[in-house]
Amino acid sequence: MRFLQSLQQYDEELFLWFLQRRSYETLVAVSRLVSCTGDGYWYVLVGWLAYWAYAGTGTRLMVTGLAAFAFERPIYFVLKNTLKRGRPQTRFQGLSGHIIPSDEFSFPSGHTSAAFLTAVLCAWFYPTMMPGIFLWAALVGMSRIFLRVHYPADVVAGAGLGVICALTAIAWLGG
């Protein structure tokens, strides 16, 4: 129990460190744009574009992506609604998020999980995309911290969940 309290305290301190960056207002403006690229409808659009543009590989990406999200979303919802970790604005008086989150709990970050799931799949099927797609996924995660809706541990857990679910789908379907 003491370990978990120490971990929570460290996570809160790291969260506050992010908010004290010199260019914080600029980071918030950029984060709003980056965070939107992690909204669910973009994944559907990317899947359909890959399906239509790259016949064989696009179909495999889309099918593997559907399987990966079929694993990831239920796990994400169970974790979020079982652990019920409050968002930062519930912990720190006077702190409000820069966006309105879709629910009241923060662990794990769903945007980050979906972004890393997508990054792994895109890197698997289109290896030349690897550097850019992982940079994008990391920026989605960071944006959630700068927008004050997630702690750093939420983002790390979301990334891990996304990676594990993507690799599971690849292994299951034979990539």
Q: Structurally, how many domains does the chain consist of?
A: 1
**Does the structure show a pLDDT above 80 at 26?**
yes
Answer yes or no: is 156 within a domain.
yes
Residue type, 5: Q
| Domain CATH code at residue 140 | 1.20.144.10
Per-residue DSSP letter, 39: S
Answer yes or no: are the C-beta atoms of 151 and 15 closer than 8 Å: yes
Structural domain including 65 reads 38-173
- Find, among 174, 167, 173, the residue nearest to 72 by Cα: 167
pLDDT for 30 equals 93
- Split at pLDDT 50, 70, 90, the class of 45 is confident
Which residues make Cβ contacts (< 8 Å) with residue 80, sequence separation at least 6? 103, 105, 107, 108, 110
- Split at pLDDT 50, 70, 90, the class of 175 is low
CA dist 135 and 115 (Å) reads 10
